[in-house]
Amino acid sequence: MTADLDYLESQSIYILREAYNRIDKLALLWSIGKDSNVLLWLCRKAFFGRVPFPVVQLDTAMELQEVYDFRDRIAGEWDLDLRVEQCPPEADMDQTLPPLTRAAARKTEGLKNLLRTGKYQGIMVGIRRDEQATRAKERVFSPRSLEGDWDVKDQPAEFWDHYKTRFDEGTHVRIHPLLHWTELDIWRYSKREGIPIVPLYFAKDGKRYRSLGEKNITFPVDSTAGTIDEIIAELVVTRIPERAGRAMDNEAEDSFERLRSSGYM
């Protein structure tokens, strides 16, 4: 029974089509993880086989090799308009941030650099509410200043699938088509649709990546799940949070909130 997946899929397609119709100069942020792979897949469904906007990877040159291999293969097979953007070095980051959070902030700066070019008004990101408490507060269409700042205290009204799609000059919008999905949904949908997956998610020698990030700040968790079915079974019973292997989240109580209010995904 996968009627609930049909509902999730339909809702995401609706959001993608709204974004494509209402926002000029869209791009999709591809982290090459499981969520943004599902997002790309949904784009192909929404637009009948093609992804009609550029796909941007914010590269820190710190991803695992398997991630780069996967990127190059899929970009070719799916005929993506891939744009790789290099992120500035860690030395340029806000030095008041804790060190691991600082490393993560490189992507924020890479994104800001991209937005400063004025090439994009809408950035689609595959975040989900269940990943992290501050992401749970997100809107589907989330307005940002040019610098990417998120004014969490004054977010627009968003109800009955009416999204904020009009903006002042110099601002941009983050679009979150997967906000209502859960980690389990992502895996069940990937299985149903046969969506390609970076092999790092599957257990090797008792460890697997549950959430993929740069190799200096992301670590595999204990697991024996070697197939999608085993991952699904693991998630149904686990009480370990998804981002447990993301070092920066837990560095300080507000690490992630600080990252996000200054523009992190």
Partner 1 sequence: MDIRNELNGQLRIVIVGHVDHGKSTLIGRLLNDTGSLPDGKVEQVHEMSRKRGMPFEWAFVMDALQAERDQGITIDTTQIHFKTEQRPYVIIDAPGHTEFLKNMVTGASQADAALLVIDAAEGALEQSRRHAFLLHLLGVRQVAVAVNKMDRVDFDQYRFEAVSQEIRAYLAELGLHTSTVIPIAARHGDNIVSRSDKAPWYEGPTVVEALDAFRPQQAPTELPLRFPLQDVYKPDDRRILAGRIESGRLRVGDTLRFSPTGATATVVSIEGWNHSQPIVAAQAGQSIGITLDKRIFAERGHVAHHEEGAPHVTHRLGVRAFWLTSEPLAVGKTYTLKITTGEHRVTVESITAVIDIEDLSSTPAKAVHRNEVAEVVLRSRSPIAVDLASALSRTGRGVLIDGHDVVGGCIVVEVDEGPTASANTTEVSHAVTADERNAANGHKGGVLWLTGLSGAGKSTLAMALERALFDRGWQVFVLDGDNVRNGLNAGLGFSAEDRAENIRRVAETAKLFADAGVLVIASLISPLQADRARARAIGGERFHEVYVAADLATCESRDPKGLYRRARAGEIPDFTGVSAPYEAPESAELTIDTGTVTPVEALGELLDYVDGAFGRNALKRGRV
- What does the binding site for partner 1 look like in residue numbers (CB under 8 A)? 1-4, 6-7, 9-11, 13-14, 17-18, 20-21, 44-50, 129-130, 133-134, 136-137, 139, 152-153, 155-160, 162, 164, 166-168, 182, 184, 193, 232-233, 236-237, 239-241, 253-254, 257
Tokens of 119: 């090439």
Q: 82: which residues sit within 8 A by CB, 6+ positions away?
A: 30, 54, 55, 56, 57, 71, 75
39 CB burial (10 A radius; 0-12, 13-18, 19+): buried
Nearest distance from residue 227's CB to partner 1, in Å?
14
Within 10 A of 81 (CB to CB), how many other CB atoms are there?
14
Nearest distance from residue 118's CB to partner 1, in Å?
19
Q: In this structure, what is the dihedral angle of CA atoms 149, 152, 153, 154, given to the nearest 10 degrees?
A: 70
Nearer to partner 1, 66 or 158 (CB): 158
Nearest distance from residue 239's CB to partner 1, in Å?
5
Nearer to partner 1, 44 or 83 (CB): 44
Nearer to partner 1, 50 or 73 (CB): 50
Nearer to partner 1, 25 or 204 (CB): 25
Nearest distance from residue 2's CB to partner 1, in Å?
7
Estimate the crossing angle of helix 183-193 against helix 34-46, to 10 degrees: 60
Query: Under DSSP, is residue 208 helix (H, G, I), strand (E, B) or coil?
Result: strand
